[in-house]
Structure 1
Amino acid sequence: MRIAIIGPAFPYKGGGAHHTTELAHRLAGAGHQVAIESWRAQYPAFLYPGQQTISEPEGEPFPGTRHELDWRRPDGWWRTGRSLRAYDLVVLAVLSPVQVPSYLGILAGLRGGTPVVALCHNVLPHERKPYDRPLMKALLRRVNGVLVHSEQQAELARGLTAHPVRVAEMPAHLPTPSGGVTERGGRAAGVRNQLLFFGIVRPYKGLDVLLRALAAGPEDVSLTVAGEFWGGLDETERLIAELGLAGRVELRPGYVPAADVPGLFEAADALVLPYRAATASQNVWMAYEHGVPVIATRVGGFADQIRDGVDGLVCEPDDVGSLADALKRFYAPGEPERLRAGVRPVDHEPLWTAYLDALTGARRSA
């Protein structure tokens, strides 16, 4: 098939751009003729206060990538849609409702002649605004099929459209410096009494819950927080001071380049994902590829990814006591070593096969 993917790609950073690029590589590897239609200007700066682009690619860029789309040029949205009328499938990578106006412009250019699948990373944002639901409803009612990453997201999508909705687990797509699974044998033995929170810091990810649990948990354990802070550092720094954690919490604000990621995981006993809400996350797979157990809340797909008591621990969301208890259980004598020994890298080839089948099947069932 001739397949066009519309979504972010390098020089844009982050999981969405990595997913778009890896999906294109996988579809091309399966024998399809693939193109990516990406952006030269994706969002106004006020809608994304963090760093939007990077200067060096992390992973292999897809050669068939164009960067013609611009949020300031609706005429270009329509022209892009018109240029894709001869394709057998168009995939809209949906990361936020703010993309919907441009996607509706592209659909107007297509004029209904080409099957379109909305690949929704999140059907609705974790932190919602009044316009999110009507925008997503307008989009999902105009596509032929929807692909999501969890049953919970499928239920949200079915409430917005009568078109077919398929579910497929999101396979790994974040690159490592070597381009493959990270080497796991270089870490020296021993417990570091060090935890890691990794990724963009937003309210739904529950860093405040983790800080309170850390204050109530084992007294000799420290935490590194590495990632962009969506709303700035002030509130987090105030909470750290209030809890008396200044000597136990290291803040490393800003985008973390792929080359720096192994060192962060090397220094950590566990990755902690204290999310209040989630759909799918690459961070569990990333931790496992670095040989690191995961402590996470029972939201999204975490409970399916983590074998509770084998390669990590699962606790209740938005519950300081439950997370503090999990930290204490993790640091019981011998537990960090036992849980680390249970970590196994995941074979993502079957997951990618199922994912591509679900995506192309969404076209056939549309």
Structure 2
Amino acid sequence: MEKSKIKIAFLSVFHPFRGGIAQFNTELFKALEAKSDISAFNFTTQYPELLFPGKTQFVDNKDLAPHFETPRILSSVNPFSFIKTAKAIKDFSPDVLISSYWMPFFGPSLGMVCKRLKKTTLNISIVHNAIPHEKRLGDKMLSGFYFKQQHGFVTMSETVKNDLNTLIKNPATLLRPHPLYAQFGDLKDKNASRLKYGIKKDQKVLLFFGFIRKYKGLDLLLEALSHCREDIVLLIAGECYGEFSEYQKIIHENQIDSRVFSHIRYIPDSEVSDVFSASDVCVLPYRTATQSGIASIAKFYQVPMVVTPVGELPNEIIPNQTGIVCESSKPIHIAQAINDCLDAMKIFSGRLKDEKDIHTWENFANAILSFSGDLKV
């Protein structure tokens, strides 16, 4: 007699919400779908518009991101929806409830749903950040409430695992590296991709990709660029949370206007391959960091990285084989690491391919399923 598949409810943000968490959830859902009876439960409201710092929370009609239809049921700010969501999940009768966690703001909504399922369902949290990059009063209380409703945790870095240990006693934890994103398409012709952004064939291209926020250190990278040789240019591709004018001021003051190609907008999935195909090095000049979804994309496209020595970033690369770790976050040290990385490009190519073959979504899903078998309600 064939063994019945484990039944999983997956509660988090999915399409039509955009961004790294929704993309992560979609890829993990697809990997788990092949091995379980799984159903997704989506948000109706992620952030109230007044609290959202970007232009929109949703993909547009032209976005080709892979997705599937999900019931949109949970509002982060409507307590009645917490009860409704818990009932809908109970009616599905899952063995396991997986939820993704990345900000204390979602502690009450996700936590209340998990609390109502806790006695009958195995609750597993995928923790992207246990402690937020930009801290606020009440963070520990909100996160702590959510974490107390879980039977097990999946983390993708030692940093997050250690942070989790400061918030909850003896958590059952599975540590697995962030899988590599493959849904954005294959590498494209480098020169053709550069043409789309007005970049010359013979220029060396640095990439700063993703949402622009203070902790991600774009200002440090702009200062560093002024210390790099003239043939090195910077492609900025991402939406700014806040005003870009402060970065534009740095560009102008350092007289690097002609060396910075700014595309300050959300980059749809259909364009990600062009952005990485046009680039020689992906730079993560972060002030604070846990694991990085951007690093996972860079690894998939076999683009070497320059990272600052903060959080988990040094563990995202194999030094001098898949990238360079800066001596510090000072612009002069970032500039030196960029120069060293560009000088060693031929060394990186073989090892980057090896990395691409290891960190698959299938392996990640298998690890979660195995971990769930070791836990008890």
Normalised TM-score (structure 2):
0.87
Instruction: Give 1:217 deviation, angstroms.
Output: 2.0
Moved more, 279-288 or 141-150: 279-288
2:176 corresponds to 1:168: yes
C-alpha distance in 1 between matches for 2:22 and 2:106: 14
The CA deviation at 1:117 is: 1.2
Match of 2:120 among 113, 116, 122: 113
- Tell me if 1:88 matches 2:95: yes
SS of 1:268 mapped into structure 2: coil
Give the match for residue 196 of structure 2: none
Question: Equivalent residue of 2:82, what SS?
Answer: helix
Stretches of structure 2 lacking an aligned partner (at least 5 in a row):
1-5, 193-200
Q: What are the superposed Cα offsets for residues 101-143 of structure 1, whole Å, 9 maximum, x if unpaired?
A: 1113313432622111121111111111111111111111222
Q: What are the within-5 Å matches in structure 2 for residues 25-40 of structure 1? A: 25-30=30-35, 32-40=36-44
Residue 84 of structure 1: SS of its match in structure 2?
A: helix
State the Cα deviation string for residues 216-268 of structure 1 (Å, max 9, x = none): 22233111111011112111111112222222112111100122222222222
What is the rounded CA distance, in whole Å, between the counterparts of 2:285 and 2:73 in structure 1? Answer: 38
Alignment-derived partner of residue 69 in structure 1: 74
Find the aligned partners of 2:190 and 2:325 in 1 and give their Cα distance.
Answer: 24
- In the TM superposition, what are the counterparts of 1:50-65 in structure 2 within 5 Å? 50=54, 51-56=56-61, 58-63=64-69, 65=70
- Shift in CA distance, 87/193, structure 1 to aligned 2, threshold 3 Å: same
Contact kept? 2:100, 2:126, Cα under 8 Å: yes
CA distance in 2, matches of 1:81, 1:183: 42
> Match for 1:250 among 261, 270, 277?
261
Is 2:233 the partner of 1:222? Answer: yes
Cα 1:198–1:158, aligned 2, differ >3 Å: closer, same or farther? same
Q: Which residue of 1 aligns with 2:307?
A: 296
CA distance in 1, matches of 2:342, 2:299: 19
Residue 44 of structure 1 corresponds to which residue in structure 2?
48
Q: CA deviation at 1:290?
A: 2.6
Matched, 1:143 2:150: yes
Seen in structure 2, the aligned counterparts of structure 1 residues 146 and 290 have a Cα distance that, compared at 3 Å, is closer
Which structure 1 segments of 5+ residues have no match? none
Name the amino acid aligned to 2:180.
Answer: A
- State, as a whole percentage, how many aligned pairs show the same letter: 27
2:341 to 323, 330, 334: 330
Aligned partner of residue 21 in structure 2, secondary structure:
helix
CA offset digits 1:17-52 (Å, max 9, x no partner): 01111111111111x110111012211123322121
Instruction: Write the mapping of 1:173-188 to structure 2, written as runs, cut at 5 A.
Output: 173=181, 175-177=183-185, 182-183=186-187, 186-187=189-190
**Paired amino acid for 2:110:** Y
Is residue 302–residue 356 contact of structure 2 (8 Å, CA) maintained in 1?
no
Change (3 A) 1:121 1:279: same
- The answer to whether the 8 Å contact 1:24/1:62 transfers is no
User: Are the aligned partners of 1:150 and 1:280 in contact in 2 as well (CA < 8 Å)?
Assistant: yes
Q: TM-score, normalised by structure 1?
A: 0.89
> Are 1:307 and 2:318 an aligned pair?
yes
Letter of the 1:226 counterpart = A
- On the 8 A contact 1:274/1:317 being kept in 2, the answer is no
The number of aligned residues is 357
CA–CA distance in 2 between the matches of 1:44 and 1:260? 28
Sort the Cα spacing of 1:317 and 1:29 in 2 relative to 1 into closer, same or farther, 3 A.
Answer: farther
Asked if the contact 2:27/2:361 (under 8 Å) is kept, the reply is no
* TM superposition outliers: structure 1 runs of 4+ over 6 Å: none
Answering whether residue 352 of structure 2 is matched by residue 343 of structure 1, we say: yes
Moved more, 83-92 or 343-352: 343-352
Task: Map Cα deviations across residues 1-21 of structure 1 (whole Å, 9 max, x no partner).
Answer: 110111010001111001111
- Cα distance change on mapping 1:9 and 1:174 into 2, 3 Å: farther
Q: Per the alignment, in what secondary structure is the counterpart of residue 103 of structure 1?
A: helix
Instruction: Find out whether 1:200 has 2:211 as its counterpart.
Output: yes
Residue 364 (structure 1) aligned with residue 368 (structure 2):
no
| Cα separation, 1, equivalents of 2:157 and 2:8 | 24
| Alignment CA distance shift 1:72-1:307 (3 Å) | closer
Structure 1 Cα separation of the partners of residues 173 and 85 of structure 2: 25
